[in-house]
Structure 1
Amino acid sequence: MAAEPANTSCETTTHEDETVLAEVSRPTTDPRGVVVLAHGAGGNRHAVILRSVAEALCAQGVVVARIDLPYRRRRPKGPPSPSTAAADRAGIVAACATFRDEAGGGPLIVGGHSYGGRQASMAVAEDPELADGLLLTSYPLHPPGKPDRLRTEHLPSVRIPTVIVHGSTDPFATTAELADAVELIPAPTRIVEIDKVGHNLNPDRKPTAELTAEAVMDFLLVRP
């Protein structure tokens, strides 16, 4: 089932409390589900890829919360530290708890771009009840040029349906490497490859957001 034509109006507001800072896009119709997205290592909740995906999903009737991870709330610039990764996962867990009730009876999907997606995947590996589906854009399978340093240890514990959006020239994973890694996930998976783009997925020049939304609606938000 492909996504229906995008025709739902959306309103975006800022949510901020002690544990969660997010831009929340809500459809003006009854929601079909909710998606919580975390940004990459160098970004924040305003990243172009997150905004583009949020717009495309909200137009299909989905509430989307783009969150700032805890390390970004502590400082406006700079990469995350491995020593605080657990705190970033805790921030994702808190966001899921905050927005789950907005799903309108539909599923809650969690994920994010690059580092944010990796932390979301680790969070659902630690707690399979955290979300109903996982959305990863540009999963950082290994550091560029270091294919021996695979970030796959937790993937066998990911037990919810997963969509991975991948650029065909992404230096963090070749298409073949990603396909092999996805085989480790004991749940239904779908890879959406965007041709001739790298890690940023070029949502301003490619139909990345539209293809991502279509996969989410078709694979993660469907109900029997």
Structure 2
Amino acid sequence: MATLIDTPTGPGRLHIYESDGSERGTVILGHGAGGSQQTPDALLLAEVLPRDGWRTVLVDMPWRVAGRKVATSPPTLDRGWQPLVEAAKGEGRLVLGGRSAGARVACRTAGPLRADAVLCLSFPLHPPGKPERSRAEELATPCEIGLPVLVIQGRRDPFGTPEEVRAAAPDAVDVVPVSAAHSAPKNLDEMLIPVRAFLADLG
């Protein structure tokens, strides 16, 4: 089910996949700076997680709904994301996450939105070839309030290898390497198995 929600930066779209049985919580995933939620990993999670009791919501950010090709600035992204999360969350635990820019937004807003955990399907630690422009502070933000964080990171990711992310992140961040660059791994079980284990540990 797709639903348009008004935000201060324009309407965003929620694709809602209800849980099959007793609802453990809601997983809300944002997309990257150049794409939409039609990625193999996000679509697989939307198919599988509801069977585990997780209501799953894939978000199309307002800039994407408006037909723009490039994401807006981080403060604007956050202003659009927060009302979408408030509209999408249900009962039980709240897990915020996403791919690339969506992961950054989730990390920055996990505290104000009272999330219970953060799931990064890839985290852009730095622009390609520019490790000095680190975004490690954003990745550390959920840890500062005691939230568990899982990062699924491609071994060939030009935005930061798993080793780079581990070195820059707090010890509380769990980094799982997968056979990919900055996109979803071809073997989606590399992503799915640790994500399901991470959610199961939330209780």
- Tell me which residue corresponds to 1:179: 166
Q: Tell me the alpha carbon deviations over residues 45-84 of structure 1, each in whole angstroms, 9 at most, x when there is no partner.
A: 3333311222221221100110011211222x512133xx
- Tell me which residue corresponds to 1:199: 182
Cα distance, 1:42–1:172 mapped onto 2, change above 3 Å? same
Q: How many residues align?
A: 196
Give distance in 2, aligned partners of 1:171 and 1:65: 28
2:46 to 27, 48, 54: 54
Q: Aligned-pair distance for 1:217?
A: 2.0
Q: Where in structure 2 are there 5+ consecutive unaligned residues?
A: none
Following superposition of structure 1 onto structure 2, how do residues 57-76 of structure 1 map, counting pairs within 5 Å? 57-75=49-67
Asked if the contact 1:53–1:209 (Cα under 8 Å) also holds between the matched residues in 2, the reply is no
Cα distance, 1:201–1:218 mapped onto 2, change above 3 Å? same
> Which amino acid in the other structure matches residue 58 of structure 1?
P
Q: Aligned-pair distance for 1:123?
A: 1.5
> Which amino acid in the other structure matches residue 18 of structure 1?
D
> Which amino acid in the other structure matches residue 107 of structure 1?
R
* Aligned CA-pair RMSD: 2.0
Asked if the contact 1:22–1:45 (Cα under 8 Å) also holds between the matched residues in 2, the reply is no
- Tell me which residue corresponds to 1:22: 14
Following superposition of structure 1 onto structure 2, how do residues 1-224 of structure 1 map, counting pairs within 5 Å? 13-19=1-7, 20-75=12-67, 77-82=68-73, 85-100=74-89, 102-103=90-91, 106-124=92-110, 127=112, 129-158=113-142, 159=145, 160-183=147-170, 188-194=172-178, 196-202=179-185, 204-219=186-201, 221-222=202-203
Q: Aligned-pair distance for 1:117?
A: 0.7
Partner SS for 2:175:
strand
Matched residues, percent identical? 28
TM-score normalised per structure 2 = 0.87
Which runs of at least 4 in structure 1 moved beyond 4 Å after TM superposition? none
Asked if the contact 1:36–1:95 (Cα under 8 Å) also holds between the matched residues in 2, the reply is no
Give distance in 1, aligned partners of 2:3 and 2:190: 26
